[in-house]
């Protein structure tokens, strides 16, 4: 689907969605991004945090009247219903990475829908984050995560992938990972580099404190 670019930037951008996103979480991300894009009712969370978005993108059917009036000059309404609001925003923002906040605390079907969109646009790196975790698709090839000893590292396949994992308590080599077969939740770093080698994108989850490491992993020079 052809989509006109609404936001273009050389630094990461944070998408704020309609699931629970606190003012503290929003402000904590500020240092990592050039600004915020409200995805539909995410504008209400930004309004509560006293932050003006770069744009408000979506079909805008969940936006409060107060947010609509406050950000009237920033509204980018896309009325078609063949895509989700998250996909509408992702396909219209050009940035090296997207930090997505407020997309994991609501309905399970919404979470799975976001993962589906991430898989369909691997050239648009997304980091899902909430108060506990950050999750991202490790790109095909090798990624090295510099994590302290004991850091939780979880790998979950979203499609069949042959994966090697080193620098953890339970390493493995050239192992087929599938949703109905082998997975690696709650592994732990041994200190130093955690190396992931994969022939297909694989979902990596780390503690929220390691957002900068996740950003470094998905933004390739």
The CATH number that applies at residue 148 is 2.60.120.320
The closest of 176, 221, 172 to 194, measured between CA atoms, is 172
pLDDT, one tens digit per residue, over 175-195 is: 999 999 999 999 999 998 999
Q: How many angstroms separate the most distant Cα atoms in the chain?
A: 55
Residue 127 shares a structural domain with residue 174:
no
Both tokens assigned to 101: 């906040």
189 phi, psi to nearest 5 deg: -70, 145
Q: In the listed set 110, 131, 152, which residue is the last one of a domain according to the structure? A: 131
**Residuewise pLDDT in 10s, the chain (221 residues):** 457 899 999 999 999 997 767 788 888 899 999 999 999 999 999 999 999 999 999 999 889 999 999 999 999 999 888 899 999 999 999 999 999 998 887 678 888 889 999 999 988 999 999 889 999 999 899 999 999 999 999 999 999 999 999 999 999 999 999 999 999 999 999 998 999 999 999 999 999 999 999 999 998 65
Residue 208 shares a structural domain with residue 111:
no
CB 135 within 8 A of CB 218: no
Both tokens assigned to 97: 């990475």
Residue 36 shares a structural domain with residue 115:
yes
Residue 25 shares a structural domain with residue 68:
yes
Residue 14 shares a structural domain with residue 43:
yes
Q: In the listed set 112, 131, 150, which residue is the last one of a domain according to the structure? A: 131
């Amino acid at each position: 689907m052809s989509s006109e670019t609404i936001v273009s930037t050389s630094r990461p951008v944070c998408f704020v969605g309609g699931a629970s996103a606190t003012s503290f979480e929003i402000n904590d991300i500020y240092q990592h991004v050039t600004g915020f894009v409200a995805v539909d009712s995410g504008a209400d969370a930004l309004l509560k945090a006293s932050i003006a978005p770069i744009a408000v993108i979506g079909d805008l059917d969940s936006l409060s009247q107060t947010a609509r009036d406050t950000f009237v000059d920033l509204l980018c309404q896309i009325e078609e219903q063949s895509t989700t609001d998250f996909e509408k925003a992702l396909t219209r923002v050009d940035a090296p990475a997207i930090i997505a906040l407020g997309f994991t605390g609501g309905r399970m079907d919404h979470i799975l829908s976001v993962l589906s969109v991430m898989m369909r646009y691997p050239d648009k790196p997304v980091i899902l984050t909430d108060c506990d975790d950050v999750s991202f698709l490790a790109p095909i090839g090798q990624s090295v995560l510099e994590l302290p000893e004991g850091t939780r590292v979880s790998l979950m396949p979203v499609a069949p992938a042959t994966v090697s994992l080193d620098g953890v308590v339970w390493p493995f080599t050239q192992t087929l990972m599938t949703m109905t077969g082998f997975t690696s939740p709650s592994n732990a770093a041994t200190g130093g580099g955690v190396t992931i080698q994969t022939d297909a994108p694989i979902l990596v989850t780390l503690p929220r404190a390691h957002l900068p490491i996740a950003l470094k992993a998905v933004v390739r020079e």
